[in-house]
Amino acid sequence: MIDTKTLTIKEASEKMRKGEMSSFDLVSSCLDLIKEKNSKLNIFLEIFEDALEQAKRADEMLKEGKGGTLCGIPIAVKDNILIEGRINSSGSKMLENYRASYDAFVIKRLKESGAVLVGRTNMDEFAMGSSTENSAYGAVKNPLDTSRVPGGSSGGSAGAVSGGMALGALGSDTGGSIRQPASFCGVVGMKPTYGGISRSGLTAMSSSLDVIGPFAKTAEDAEIIFDCIKGRDEMDSTSIDLNDLENENRKVIGVPRDFLKEGVDKEVLQNFEESIEKLKKKGYKIVDISLPYSKYSLAVYYIIMPAEVSTNLSRLDGIRYGLRTEGENVFDTYKKTRSCGFGVETRRRIMLGTYVLSHGYYDAYYNKAWKVRRAIMKEYDDVFKNVDFVMTPTTPTPAFRFGAKSSPVEMYLSDIFTVSANLAGLPSISIPSGIGSEGLPFGTLFTTRQKSDKMLFSIEKDLK
């Protein structure tokens, strides 16, 4: 049995190319772990029955010297990314039986490379949440401590990598849903520049904020996945080609100290200061910066995001596709379907979004939020004239216990450090930076200029 909890994509790929390991054995080891652990952890909603067939095909490709770096590598996929012919429920009862009619762009790329798709991972309904407690299919447990949440909304994907059930995974990040669970599960999670990875085939949550990105054990592995799935796609008009600026020697880091004053756990802060010291020793220059508008980023996010959610989810009405609960007339059918099909958090956001977009309130809320969003974008543009990275902890606390966040607003605060990157469309990565006294991992967040995504992968080695 291969130790998939420690093996990296880089190592596995090299071994497979040399013929020292087969994809069949590697995928079998992941599947064994899934079979042993999944009933308790609830990470996978479905394990693909053809995973070993895919592995055999990858072994053939490897023998013939074909395929990419991900050839034969077991990858888990968040349940909101379409895979042709497979159920894609987005963690919702609404789409429980919905089958995708095409592959997402990122899935096409993974398939071309020869990656082995092992299964679909559990998530908060329509990617709304920070703990994966909002899934219609039950909460996911953190493989590092089952009394804790794995973070969310991509908690299943983060947990799959952390638990050795796949060597890499795909997630989506609208306000932190890759980076926050990565931090809670002790793995690397990265969100690209907005548009850097095509959203074609991603179930839309909030279209101006959504991105797809990788999870892996190391930044090097995350970069391998990123390189495979990035790039312009004609099916997504917002997609762009990214520059490759990896070799530029950029070493100035800005720290927004004002932002770190309130509500941050003591050990998280201590870990953050230790990370700063390590980076200083490696030659980084650390400077204080101020991001005065960023303290409004959660408020702005919770206006723009629900507005887009309410519009995007209006297509789920019981008529076109998904669940249908028959009513007395068409309006009754809408009402019954949407009341039965959506969970509490989803309904809350649809109502909030409909409200901020309504005639009398549009200017007061939605338009004003967009003005502040632009101010946040400008603020980052200005900051990046002087620094190369902005550094904060990924989350204010380590992984919390189930039910610990009793009000929605408390839950929303988990994303205080991650949302501004989405509002400004910036690339951002969470890197594991140590373990606390309760045995839970910390993550440190680095955000950089638009299209400089490659810069993010090189910091990890300096944090050691």
DSSP strands (E only) in 147-268: 168-173, 188-191, 211-216, 252-255
Buried b (16+ CB within 10 A) or exposed e, 182-209: bbbbbbbbbbbbbbbbbbbbbbbbbebb
| Closest to 232 measured CA to CA, from 204, 195, 202 | 195
x/- map, 108-127, ligand GLN, by CB under 6 A: -------------------x
Residues 5-44 that bind ligand GLN (CB under 6 A): none
List CB contacts of 68: < 8 A, sequence separation 6 or more.
Answer: 112, 113, 114, 115, 228
Based on CB atoms, which residue is closest to ligand GLN, 72 or 91? 91
CB of 131 to ligand GLN, least distance (A): 8
Nearer to ligand GLN by C-beta: 59 or 415?
415
Is residue 387 within the footprint of ligand GLN (CB under 6 A)? no
Q: Which of 176, 201, 322, 443 binds ligand GLN (CB under 6 A)?
A: 176
Please tell me the count of residues contacting ligand GLN according to CB under 6 A: 14
For ligand GLN, the closer of residues 129 and 343 by Cβ is 129
Contact set for ligand GLN, span 128-147 (CB under 6 A): 128-130
Residue 327, Cβ neighbours under 10 Å: how many?
14
Helices 9-17, 23-41: inter-axial angle, 10-degree rounding: 150
Contact pattern for ligand GLN over residues 182 through 211, marking x by CB under 6 A: -----------------------x------
Residue type, 353: G
On whether the CB atoms of residues 90 and 203 are closer than 8 A, the answer is yes
Question: Which entry of 29, 113, 177, 198 is annotated as an active-site residue?
Answer: 177
* Residue 177 falls in the annotated catalytic set: yes
Q: Indicate if 90 belongs to the active site.
A: no
Contact between 415 and ligand GLN by CB under 6 A: the answer reads yes
User: Strands, DSSP E only, in 96-182?
Assistant: 116-121, 168-173
Whether 131 is catalytic is no
When asked if residue 456 is in the footprint of ligand GLN (CB under 6 A), the reply is no
130/448 with CB nearer ligand GLN: 130
Q: Is 279 in the site for ligand GLN (CB under 6 A)?
A: no
**Interface region with ligand GLN, contact rule CB under 6 A, candidates 71-79, 170-178, 244-252, 311-319:** 170-178
Find the binding residues for ligand GLN in span 148-167 (CB under 6 A): 153
Asked whether position 177 contacts ligand GLN by CB under 6 A, the answer is yes
Question: How far apart (Å, rounded) are the C-alpha atoms in residues 447 and 297?
Answer: 15
Q: Is 175 in the site for ligand GLN (CB under 6 A)?
A: yes
Q: Are 117 and 225 spatial neighbours (Cβ–Cβ below 8 Å)? A: no
Compute the radius of gyration of the chain from its Cα atoms. 21
Q: Which ranges of 326-426 would DSSP assign to H, the alpha helix?
A: 330-341, 344-356, 368-383, 408-412, 419-423
Nearer to ligand GLN, 105 or 302 (CB): 302
Q: Region of 230 please: left (phi>0), alpha (psi -120 to 50) or beta.
A: beta
Which single residue brings its beta carbon nearest to ligand GLN?
177
What are the respective helix, strand and coil percentages of the chain, to the nearest 5?
Answer: 40, 15, 45
- Which residues are marked as active site? 78, 153, 177
Which residues sit at the interface with ligand GLN, rule CB under 6 A?
127-130, 153, 172-177, 205, 305, 415
